[in-house]
Amino acid sequence: MPSLISSLYVQAEALNAFEQAIAVTQANVANASTPGYATQTQSLEAMPEDISRGAVGGVETGAVVSSRDQYAEQAVRNQQTALGESNQSVDSLTSLQSMFDVTGTSGISAALSSLYQSFSAWGQTPSDGTARQAVLTAAGNLATAFQETASGLTSAATTANGQLQQTVQQVNTLVGQLQNLNSLATGDNGNNAGLDAQINATLENLSQYVPISATEQTNGTYTVLLDGQAPLLIGSQQFPLSFDLYQPDNSTYPNAPPLAQVKAADCSDVTSEINGGQLGALVAFRNTVLPSYVGDGSQAGSLNTMAQQFADTVNGILTSGNISDASADGATPAVQGVPLFTYDTTDATNVAASLSVSPAITPSQLAAIDPGPPEVSNGIPLALAQLENPQSSADQIGGESYTAAFGDMASQAGNLLNQATEDQQVAQTALTQAQNLRQQQSGVDLNQQAATLVQYQQAYQANSEMLTVINQLLLDTINILTPST
């Protein structure tokens, strides 16, 4: 039997514990509508009862434990990061897609089609000045379309640079706010639920921009790392990010558009650590998507490659022809054709932007005669018109026509946008899911949670199997509906 003193000790400790629990409850009520606030739970732990060693049983006060579990908070932040990334991707890719009209009513696709038609019309009347002028006009329009598309992509890169700069500043501002909150938390030893709510709300806000991991320290402050690596905040010290443009060393194309770079406070390159959030989407758009069209230090870009190959092919066909035949007596030699297009030959990443019709060429200088043998008076315009549906691999780009290649470029942009839009919808729902999970977890004791987790495991297994069955049935459905060719 415990002594009287021991009994009193138990009662005193229990009372003290319950007083603290009530205080926590009051804080919960007061902060119920604070954004980012999670229920605080006073945990009461059973003390061992061992009278021989003076252990008297009952309960003792544990530290006030925040039921805002770090894991649940990080899960919500991860989904915020995914949503921030997909929102930004949709925004950037929507502007990109508008530059690639494949309906044939504007842009490169329409200009290509018009040029092929002008080649064909010229082939019908090879000496007709109007038909020749129409070729020059259509070629000029195509060059302009390439220039405008290149200019649009350059403009998109400039916009992305500005957004990157702003986003980095926004990240630094939010980390600065957390730095101030950390200073306040140090004084409270992490026992201020309202402050904790502010910190978590700011961390959630920050996670839209960059992937972060945040860990609460024993003194109540938060350490924030960029994707678990570069520090952004440790205690009261902030490590600000910075944005820069750079050209990689040993670039194959040293005059190519520079790449975006995000640097840590120690000036180290942390761009590769930014794999999500709004900043991650901007980096991916700026350093991966745009260069695939307009090039960077290691690639010319598909738009430039297409512009160069098309110009070279047309020029090659024209210069293989003759503007006029040699005189019958041989006194006057045949006049060889001249190139139609010019471009910056010193920079493969500047071809589309610099493509133009040679300023020196006149309609009469368009070579129509294929010298053969046999000589064909309209052989060159016919060969040029054939480019619309090329049979020879030399007249193709990547094994297909130029029209199809442009369609591929456009569909690449369209596919990226479709994927980003689907990701955006899922990310929005997944964020709500993570918030629901956090809410469900808040305030649940470990015994209850351990039992529920077993239930979850069984449910996931069953749902996963069901989904596998449905996916197979959907595949069969699509096969049934797809007409066999």
Partner 1 sequence: MQTDVASGLAAVRLEMESASRALELASPEALAGCEAALGRAAAVLRQGHREWDWKSAGVAARAEAERLPSVARRAGRLLSSACRYHEGWRRILFSMAGGYSARGEAVSLPAPRRISLEA
Provide the binding-site residues for partner 1, judged by CB under 8 A: 18, 21, 24-25, 28-29, 39-46, 59, 69, 71-72, 75, 79, 422, 425-426, 429-430, 432-434, 436-437, 440-441, 443-447, 449-450, 452-453, 455-457, 459-460, 462-464, 466-467, 469-471, 473-474, 476-478, 480-481
Judged by CB, which is closer to partner 1: 39, or 87? 39
Residue 135 to residue 144: CA distance in whole angstroms: 14
Task: Write down the least CB distance from residue 434 to partner 1, Å.
Answer: 7
Q: Which two tokens stand for residue 314?
A: 């047309």
Judged by CB, which is closer to partner 1: 124, or 439? 439
Residue type at position 303: L
Judged by CB, which is closer to partner 1: 398, or 443? 443
Judged by CB, which is closer to partner 1: 74, or 304? 74
Task: Write down the least CB distance from residue 72 to partner 1, Å.
Answer: 8
Task: Write down the least CB distance from residue 276 to partner 1, Å.
Answer: 14
Judged by CB, which is closer to partner 1: 455, or 484? 455
Residue 7 to residue 396: CA distance in whole angstroms: 94
Task: Write down the least CB distance from residue 15 to partner 1, Å.
Answer: 14
Q: Any alpha helices (H) in 321-401, and if so which ranges?
A: 351-354, 379-385
Angle between helix 129-188 and 70-97 (nearest 10): 160
Per-position b or e across 440-460, b if 16+ CB within 10 A of its CB: ebbeeeeeeeeeeeeeeeeee
Q: Strand pairing partners for 234?
A: 237
Judged by CB, which is closer to partner 1: 391, or 482? 482
Nearest one of 214, 207, 215, 216 to 275, comparing CA atoms: 207
Name the 3-class secondary structure at 60.
strand
Q: What is the DSSP string of 273-319?
A: G--SHHHHHHHHIIIIIHHHHH-BTTB--HHHHHHHHHHHHHHHHHH
Judged by CB, which is closer to partner 1: 281, or 290? 281
Task: Write down the least CB distance from residue 197 to partner 1, Å.
Answer: 14
CA within 13 Å, CB half, 103:
6
Q: Cβ atoms within 10 A of the Cβ of 23, count? A: 13
Q: Are 438 and 79 in contact (CB under 8 A)?
A: no
Task: Write down the least CB distance from residue 414 to partner 1, Å.
Answer: 15
Judged by CB, which is closer to partner 1: 20, or 133? 20
Write the CB contacts of 384 (distance below 8 Å, at least 6 apart in sequence): 116, 119, 122, 123, 314, 317, 318
Task: Write down the least CB distance from residue 467 to partner 1, Å.
Answer: 6
Task: Write down the least CB distance from residue 383 to partner 1, Å.
Answer: 41
Judged by CB, which is closer to partner 1: 70, or 252? 70
Task: Write down the least CB distance from residue 308 to partner 1, Å.
Answer: 37
Residue 167 to residue 279: CA distance in whole angstroms: 6
Per-position b or e across 263-273, b if 16+ CB within 10 A of its CB: bbbeeeebbeb
Q: Are 349 and 256 in contact (CB under 8 A)?
A: yes
